[in-house]
A and B are shown apart, each in its own frame.
Chain A
Amino acid sequence: MKVSLVTNILQANERIAEQNKRLFDEKGILAINIMSAPGAGKTTLIEQTIRTLKNEYRIAVIEGDIQSTHDADKIAATGVPVVQINTGGACHLDGNMISQTFDQFNFDAMDLLIIENVGNLVCPAEFNVGEDFKVMLLSVPEGDDKPMKYPLMFYESSALLINKIDLLPYVDCSIEKIRTESWQINPDLAIFEISAKQGEGVDAWLDWLKIKINEKANSK
């Protein structure tokens, strides 16, 4: 017997992600899912973002890593609530892993939830976790061929932060090429050039993010 299904293979995750999203929507919390290759500077960016915004907004962080609490320790030092998820080998976060952290947060005292995904340019793009949007970080030492090699990442993201631009004189990477090819995959992508470590360009990203946080808070 033939059974016709036409079912999304990841429907189980989609359902949990939608439940998570409903909770964030009810509470007016902006949830962002930050993705990149390992070592692109996600944690440094998050630390910078927290330091600048924490007096204005109530921020919390979920850290995803295969192992260790290294990143959560760094975030904890900034004074905001943080929960570390160790995926124990899984190369991405999914909706269920996120919902399992919920009993450790007070969602009535939160404006922005930053979710740092596992460093990986393929799988995290496939699994929604309930975020309002995805943000991708690409550091210039990784090279300018990434949009063509990992298009789903660029397609799924709302913002692309080109990081470590202070290293541009030393690496073979064309920002122009990244911009052109990223916009070919996703014409609506907001692109920022930053150095999360030195602070260059970070203000433009934060201004953009603040607008999104305020919009979300007002939509409640």
Chain B
Amino acid sequence: MKHDETLRIGVYVCHCGTNIAGVLDVEALAHFAEGLPHVALARHYKYMCSDPGQELVKRDILEYNLNRIVVAACSPNLHEPTFRRAAEDAGLNRFLVQMANIREQVAWVTDDSTEAFTKAQAHLAAAIRRVAGHEALERQFVQIQPRAMVVGGGIAGIEAALTLAEAGKDVILVEREPTIGGHMAMFDKTFPTLDCAACILTPKMTAVKLHPFIKLLTYSTVESVEGSVGNYRVKVRRKPRYIDESLCVGCMMCIDGCVFTQAKFPNPFDQGLGKRKPVWIPFPQAVPPVPVVDPEVCLQIARGKCKQGCVTACGERNAFRFDQEEQIEEYTVGTIIVATGFKAFDPSVIPYYGYGRYPNVYTSLEVERLLNAGGPTAGKLTLRDGSTPKRVGIVHCVGSRDANFHPYCSRVCCMYSLKLAHLVKEKTGAEVFNCYIDVRAPGKSFEEFFNRVQDEGTQFIRGKVADITPANGDGAEGGGLIMNVDDTLLGTIRKIPVDMVILAVALEPQADASDVRRAFGISCSAEGFFLEKHPKLAPVNTANDGVFLAGACQGAKDIPDTVAQADAAAAKALALMDAGQIELEPNTAWVDEEMCSGCQTCISLCPFKAIRHDAERKIAVIDPALCKGCGTCVAACPSGAAKQHIFGDEQISEELEGLMNYV
């Protein structure tokens, strides 16, 4: 870049206490900057982000007529907004500020101070050369629709939807199953208080149903999401229930009237342990209280021939619609809360636990249903043959803390295993053996609950259960089971005879999590749960503005944490919607109309669908509200017409020159 007399750059090197100054000679670094072209002054200061630090910048801008600012400090993710605001306060356009990250990228990662200094020089020179080419930009804002969509109707989605609605916002709640309630509706009791799950959940479910601001779309999935923060256009696929929701009053007469006198199809809500008819409802307090018809087994739909006892029972209500078809509905919303929950780990992939082979090896979720009064045994805990278990083994960490399956701890299994131990003992008086690696009970009143379960006589064996084998050795039906476990505290291997084994299965991401991730433009962490924007400071935000996370879709968590996170997500969504507008990042791409040949290469490449073809002018047009500044179109454009603010060719090449030729 040619020397430009009018450029006056102020450079500020931050000590960040000893974070930077402990490794780098900050004074020498400032001195180095002073010698670079266009630098009017260079200073170093202990904490640039402090008030006096910011004041220093403001004062210098006014006093020394500075028109560019470089701050060599921490990551721009942290304090770029701080210094942009300071510059703006002093009358300088906020985009004429550049940061050199000499903390995360230099001081924290380079042990040798000489090497570190050389690296810091390169970063500083790059920032100085780059900012020289910056131009003043207008701040851009986009309007936010005051309407939210909540995806997933478990306790997370229910809580978030209610909070948003109570704040006066319209909410569209989308749930894949025929009813809201999620996993919590399957549980019998909740730890550590032993509240009946239904007793505390169903009032909230009813509140959702009755709330005038909540539109509930059950048996529905999100098909596609377009647009961006403030204006998401979401297509929702509504599966046919074959019953008109607006006419059904939930009398359930149709279920009695169905020509199948016996319920004979496995009920998924009961984990297949209970049976249902072709027209069915997951559980009595389902919301909406509208049955659903399974087209696979309904004689009328599958074979076109049935006496239609259901229709007769429905009578004048006339709610049945056997010709109902799938429908796509579109909604425009300002913010989205993803609360799609978790999936219980399927232990049949662990050969040595015999799940699926030995009938009395159950998953924890199956046992929840057996213990639940609304479940297949009306709350009576029985073995497959109907008898009451006398000795029950609970195997912790099934699929969790295991490099072969999920290396992470599922957080809730220890506590729900303690709860199950208590309930099994309470209902059957059985001897209970909990085999654990570590008991993790770090929540409020959790340790006390652990102690209570110990006092009740549950035996705790420290060791991960190895094989579960039939007691008679040859796998014949009817026999009991042996849990083979190294009692690591005793130092001996024990064979514990039991007649029921409960596998405390891991919580894992939903099977379709990667599709959901793609639809909402969010990321997943290594184990497949949705990734928050920052693990500490932005735990409900995602990388996609206006899309928030709540509940176990973000990581395994219990009900209190889920509810807290749901309310946090609702608050974040409210803050956005109540502000009414959001500032866009300035680094958006734009098309030089003179140069664009209208080849449309960029359109198919844009991951945010931000580019459209203007057929009249035969050029590409980028919507700045949708552009995320990824630069794909800029790199791909064959004629160099796609350009990007703050990432112009000259700015980038100057930055590279600075990095490579800093001396």
Q: Are both chains from one complex?
A: no
B interface vs A, CB < 8 Å?
Answer: none
A interface vs B, CB < 8 Å?
Answer: none
